[in-house]
Amino acid sequence: EGKKFVSIQKADVKLDETEEEKKRFSKIKDMYKPLTDWWKDSLTDLTEKGAMKDAGVKVEKVEISKRLTESPVVVVTSQFGYSAQQERVMKAQAFQNKEQISMMSGRKTLEVNPNHPVIIDLLSKIKADKEDKAAKDTAAVLFQTALIESGYEIADPSALVNRVYRLMSKELGVDPDAPLKEVEVPEEEEEAEEEDDKDEGEGEDEEEEEKDGKEEL
């Protein structure tokens, strides 16, 4: 009683905390600052210069989440920004104001779960090397999949698919930048295939001769 309902998709949801929890959270934020700062810069490049430059998405900030328990990340909008459903409705309007849509829908916050193994690994990777390609691909894939999971649209699904293929290649120990090569068939196999084709052809000829003989009788 006396409390307002708020959308869990909004960035500024406030949860009740003890003083001890607030202190612990402040320490976690400091621990993960290298990652959140790096991730914000990485996503700014992705959305302003990279594959998502035409999506109209602007990343306002990357911060540690208080609400996540299982997922590694979640995308939320600002207090006065459009939800995913509102964005779809506005974009479907025939006479929509594109500038207004861009302003209201573009401000996104990426919240990060500091307890998730993927996030912990990502922090260690960028501490070692901020130019780590695997870290950049992982960060971009996490953001784009979080957008989809929250109901938002991404401008270029093929870019996401290519990054997933790169990560799969690395997981399998394959160089994702390796050029495609035509498969070489051993000569023995080629000769065996030619002999099989020859035998099949002779068999068909014999069947036709037998059929012709029967028809004459």
**pLDDT greater than 50 at residue 27:** yes
Residues 6+ away with beta carbon under 8 Å from 6: 13
Structure tokens at 80: 């006065």
Residue 42's pLDDT band (cuts 50, 70, 90): very high
Give the Cα separation of 191 and 91 in Å (integer): 61
The H-or-E segment that residue 76 falls in is strand 73-77
**pLDDT greater than 90 at residue 190:** no
Q: Could you report the per-residue pLDDT of 5-25, keeping only the tens digit for each? A: 444 454 555 667 788 988 999
Nearest CA-CA partner of 77 in 146, 15, 125: 146
**pLDDT greater than 80 at residue 167:** yes
Q: Is the dihedral of CA 115, 117, 122, 128 positive or negative?
A: positive
Residue 150's pLDDT band (cuts 50, 70, 90): confident
Average pLDDT over residues 170-178: 82
pTM value is 0.67
Using only C-alpha atoms, the chain has a radius of gyration, in whole angstroms, of 28
Query: Which range among 49-63, 134-148, 202-216 shows the weakest confidence by mean pLDDT?
Result: 202-216
109: phi then psi, degrees, rounded to nearest 5: -120, 130
What value does the mean pLDDT of the chain take? 77
Q: Could you report the per-residue pLDDT of 48-72, keeping only the tens digit for each? A: 888 777 777 788 899 999 888 899 9
> What's the confidence (pLDDT) of residue 173?
83
β-pair partners for 73? 112
**pLDDT greater than 80 at residue 136:** yes
